[in-house]
Amino acid sequence: MTEETTPSVEEIKARLKVEVPVEEEEVTKAEAQNPDLADELRDFGKQFADTIRTAWNSAERQRLETELRDGMRSFADEVDKAIQEIKKSPAADRVKTEATQVRKKVQTSDVGNKARTGVAQGLQVLSEQLAKLAERFTPVEKPVADAEEASAE
């Protein structure tokens, strides 16, 4: 029993007397430790764009889009149909009539006028308070460049 060892590339070349090109990547330690980040980001960006493009153009996405569009149309049609039915119902007419009557009573009553006046006064006070708050944020003195522009005008 003789021990056979695996021949090296050089021994195989010598036996075959043929040049066998062997590509060996020469990667320096510096390159291995410091890969080019810009190249990697560019490659990643290309791959990401290709993946999105492939997914967008896929048959599955197109089927899903069609199903969603059809489903949304059906949903909108059903909601519209229900609203139309509700508008035609006697209950809707009753609610509409009662709301109109309440609006008329509020408009003609003293309570309505007082409420309207109170709301207007409240809005006026809020507006004044907002103006005071805004004054706190505006600078007291104008910057030199602004003052010069204002005096030139």
Contact 55, 61 (CB under 8 A): yes
Residue carrying the six token digits 């059903």: 78
In angstroms, the CA 67 to CA 78 distance is 16
What is the predicted pLDDT for the residue at 44? 92
20 contact partners, CB below 8 Å, separation of at least 6: 9, 12, 13
Q: Give the distance from CA 81 to its chain's centroid.
A: 32
In angstroms, the CA 111 to CA 65 distance is 55
In angstroms, the CA 115 to CA 97 distance is 23
Contact 15, 7 (CB under 8 A): yes
Number of neighbours of residue 91 by Cβ within 10 angstroms? 8
- Take residue 8 and report the two structure tokens written for it: 């090296």
Cα dihedral 123, 128, 130, 131 in deg (nearest 10): 140
Residue-wise pLDDT tens digits, 7-65: 776 776 666 665 555 555 555 555 556 778 888 999 999 999 988 888 888 888 888 88
pTM: 0.34
Contact 72, 65 (CB under 8 A): no
In angstroms, the CA 106 to CA 113 distance is 8
Residue-wise pLDDT tens digits, 88-122: 888 888 888 888 888 887 777 777 778 788 888 98
